[in-house]
Structure 1
């Protein structure tokens, strides 16, 4: 079922794990129940979990339905109050999570993202990173949130629209990197420094 820790399991995976543990106890509690009566449903649940994981790997829509999508709680340095309410996340919870990550001032945060696992990911303002560039009197350019454009060969047109770009622009980026088809790309991202990072699928090496 993978190497995730209990605290990192998605809700569906946690339910499967609890059901398996419950089924495994029945033959132990009552010797009149044949062990086969527990093994068959356990194998069925394992098969369901593996099949679901495979579907999530291949389909972004299925992944969003089954595990949800990350939620941006702080965007461009401002708290998204509507998103906080939608996620049933109050301001005290948010401040507590920020403190646990080592950030005590909201003014230091550029982005805060609530991941599907429940963890809070933080992108601090560039001038307030651990060793601050402000202290070194360096010129600063605010980093932005990385935006995935290609996931397992599938182009994310919604994110292209966020960047105010189109498929022609994406194809030109791919051509510059000697990539002839987006389906050959395992992951393609515009990173926080506005550079295109990519990794090809296995067996899809290119000649530069």
Structure 2
């Protein structure tokens, strides 16, 4: 009877711990999990299974790795929130695989992403032809984001969290020198002060970082 009581107790406590940990780690759809998130969740699941099976091991020692993984992931999330370069290094960038109806073969090879996968994801989103696509990005999660030519102009952010996105500048045929000059003319001398910036239909949209008081 004691064994059954112990199983019930450990199961309930582990359920509560995992529920709290996943809730604190933030809201994200399963399809949007990064490689790091997925690895952490798998490890937590394995540790929880071991904790339920190994009755001779102290319960605190069994759940301690879950708490440590949560603290590591929480610290990681805080660091990548503060530093875009670190975020790009850990989570990666979206990859442009179609532009103006043409497949970016070099980028697909770099990402080891084949034509069968590309065409399947196009069909799943109701896209009949590659030539109908203005831009298609392979996201960090493996999901394909598609913008068709008949959807109007597609806006690429040029500055995110104080960092210039040089890839997006290259896509629109501009360079960082042009960006700095245009922002200076419009009254924004310091790029590090800019939280988000885009160039939409010949007009600038700039949102500054929130001030800390």
TM-score grouping bracket, smaller chain normalisation? 0.7 to 0.9
Structure 1 residue 170 displacement after superposition: 2.9
Shift in Å, 1:19: 0.7
Tell me, in whole angstroms, the C-alpha distance in 1 between the residues paired with 2:81 and 2:188.
22
Residues 1-208 of structure 1 mapped to structure 2, 5 A cutoff: 1-125=25-149, 128-129=150-151, 143=153, 145-156=154-165, 159-160=168-169, 163-167=173-177, 169-170=179-180, 172-173=182-183, 176=186, 178-179=187-188, 181-191=190-200, 193-203=201-211
Matches of 2:101 and 2:168, distance apart in 1:
20
Partners of 1:95 and 1:104 within 8 A in 2 = no
Summarize the Cα distance change of 1:158–1:73 in structure 2 as closer, same or farther, 3 Å threshold: closer
User: Secondary structure at 1:32's aligned position in 2?
Assistant: coil
Q: In 1, Cα distance between the equivalents of 2:88 and 2:34? A: 12
Aligned residue for 1:138?
A: none
CA deviations over 1:31-86 (Å, ceiling 9, x no partner): 21111112221111111111111222222322222111111111122111222222
CA distance in 2, matches of 1:165, 1:13: 34
Residue aligned with 1:84, SS: helix
Q: What is the root-mean-square deviation of aligned Cα atoms in Å?
A: 2.4
Distance in 1, Cα, partners of 2:104 & 2:176: 28
TM-superposed deviation, 1:11: 0.7
Which secondary structure does the structure 2 equivalent of 1:45 belong to? helix
Q: CA–CA distance in 2 between the matches of 1:165 and 1:31?
A: 62
Give yes or no for contact 1:174–1:182 (8 Å, CA) kept in 2: no
Q: Say if 1:174 and 1:119 are closer, same or farther in 2 by CA, change over 3 A.
A: farther
Aligned residues, how many? 187
TM-score (norm 2): 0.76
Flag the structure with higher helix content.
2
Unaligned 5+ residue runs, structure 1?
Answer: 130-141
CA distance in 2, matches of 1:179, 1:99: 43
